[in-house]
């Protein structure tokens, strides 16, 4: 009896679909490995450049000698924050997720721990809009034998509808969470990073921070603050060893828009939304490579160019058309006017 395939010479054998799938998988794995090696190499070059004037203080280094470095992510329990945690966990010793809801933090931490068993995953239930949030985080970290190596200012809330009709309490929460907390936490952790001559601060803004946003006026203005603050600090600390970056995602597939009651706006129907996973991969790659302003994806990159070049007289009416929820800026008529 002839052995199977005996009529075909070795080397002439045609590949079965299984063979070709296996071959493709090997090539893809090889390409991924090469890309990883290249990014590690470029990250090392970027670190050298970003540390060219660094002056690590022996005392500051000694203070963290017995502690582990942590990536601290505000708003790490869902959406982009959780996706960023997954990306950082591929390179970090410890990842700390901060948000208000403990059950959601527990779910997020369980998922991360299952995927990254060698990484220490911790959670802290905290409202970062509290004036003392920075000190609370700092003390909590040292109690856990950790220190903040990378701070990710990601937690934020939105507010849609005409500014004149915004609820005072919600406006206050937005200003405290998106603006004040970003400034306070950065101010808390930046000095010790500079003293160590290493570390990083990644703040999540939005494409909306480059243009006034009628019908999301306070949210867009808050992201403008985050961009301006980050770019200015990056310039101040240039060469001192600390990465300072700001990310400008376009619309993402998260519950953010529903939470701010903006699902009825035109932009939700016509602008493509990116997955938080894709956005996070691009943001963390840009951060590792030492970029200052990171627009994740091709469309956001083009949008940054357009929004930086075009005058507001052109862009603001377009943004207003996209964000309009149909709610009137006029106060409702009082009973005697009806």
Ligand X SMILES: NC(=O)c1ccc[n+]([C@@H]2O[C@H](COP(=O)([O-])OP(=O)(O)OC[C@H]3O[C@@H](n4cnc5c(N)ncnc54)[C@H](OP(=O)(O)O)[C@@H]3O)[C@@H](O)[C@H]2O)c1
* Chain contacts with ligand X (rule: CB under 6 A): 74-75, 77-81, 98-101, 104, 127-129, 154-157, 177, 204, 206, 249, 251-252, 254-256, 259, 276
Q: Which residue is nearest to ligand X (CB)?
A: 79
CB 286 within 8 A of CB 230: no
Q: How far apart are CA 59 and CA 54, in angstroms?
A: 15
Q: In this complex, which beta carbon is closest to ligand X, that of residue 43 or of residue 127? A: 127
Q: In this complex, which beta carbon is closest to ligand X, that of residue 43 or of residue 253? A: 253
Q: How far apart are CA 140 and CA 214, in angstroms?
A: 40
Give the residue from 64, 49, 128 showing the smallest Cα distance to 96: 128
CB of 32 to ligand X, least distance (A): 26
Q: In this complex, which beta carbon is closest to ligand X, that of residue 256 or of residue 287? A: 256
CB 87 within 8 A of CB 39: no
Q: In this complex, which beta carbon is closest to ligand X, that of residue 60 or of residue 183? A: 183
CB 176 within 8 A of CB 185: no
* Assigned token pair, 252: 């993402």
CB of 247 to ligand X, least distance (A): 8
Q: In this complex, which beta carbon is closest to ligand X, that of residue 200 or of residue 276? A: 276
CB of 150 to ligand X, least distance (A): 16
CB 122 within 8 A of CB 72: no
CB of 129 to ligand X, least distance (A): 4
Give long-range contacts, CB 8 A cutoff, 24+ apart: 301-307. 303/207, 303/250, 304/207, 304/210, 304/248, 307/207, 307/210, 307/211
CB of 147 to ligand X, least distance (A): 20
């Amino acid at each position: 009896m002839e052995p199977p395939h005996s009529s075909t010479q070795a080397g002439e054998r045609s590949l079965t679909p299984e063979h070709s799938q296996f071959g493709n998988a090997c090539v893809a794995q090889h390409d991924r490995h090469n890309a990883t090696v290249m990014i590690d190499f470029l990250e090392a070059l970027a670190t050298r450049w970003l540390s060219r004037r660094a002056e690590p203080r022996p005392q500051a280094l000694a203070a963290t000698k017995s502690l582990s470095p942590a990536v601290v992510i505000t708003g790490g329990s869902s959406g982009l924050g959780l996706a960023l945690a997954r990306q950082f966990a591929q390179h970090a010793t410890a990842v700390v997720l901060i948000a208000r809801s403990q059950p959601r933090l527990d779910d997020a931490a369980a998922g991360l721990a299952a995927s990254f068993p060698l990484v220490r995953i911790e959670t802290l239930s905290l409202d970062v809009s509290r004036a003392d949030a920075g000190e609370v985080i700092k003390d909590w970290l040292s109690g856990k034998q950790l220190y903040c190596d990378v701070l990710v200012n990601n937690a934020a809330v939105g507010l849609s509808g005409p500014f004149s009709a915004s609820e005072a309490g919600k406006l206050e929460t937005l200003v405290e969470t998106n603006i004040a907390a970003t400034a306070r936490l950065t101010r808390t952790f930046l000095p010790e990073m500079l003293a160590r001559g290493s570390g990083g601060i990644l703040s999540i803004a939005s494409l909306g921070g480059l243009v006034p946003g009628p019908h999301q006026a306070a949210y867009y203005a808050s992201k403008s603050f985050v961009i301006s603050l980050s770019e200015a600090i990056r310039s101040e600390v240039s060469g001192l060893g600390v990465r300072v970056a700001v990310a400008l995602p376009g619309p993402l597939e998260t519950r953010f828009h529903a939470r701010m009651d903006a699902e009825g706006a035109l932009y939700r129907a016509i602008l493509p939304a990116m997955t938080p996973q894709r956005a996070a991969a691009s943001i963390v790659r840009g951060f590792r490579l030492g970029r200052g302003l990171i627009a994740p994806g091709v469309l956001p990159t083009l949008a940054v160019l357009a929004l930086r070049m075009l005058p507001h007289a052109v862009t603001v009416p377009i943004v207003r058309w996209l964000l309009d929820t149909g709610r009137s800026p006029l106060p409702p008529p009082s009973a005697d006017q009806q």
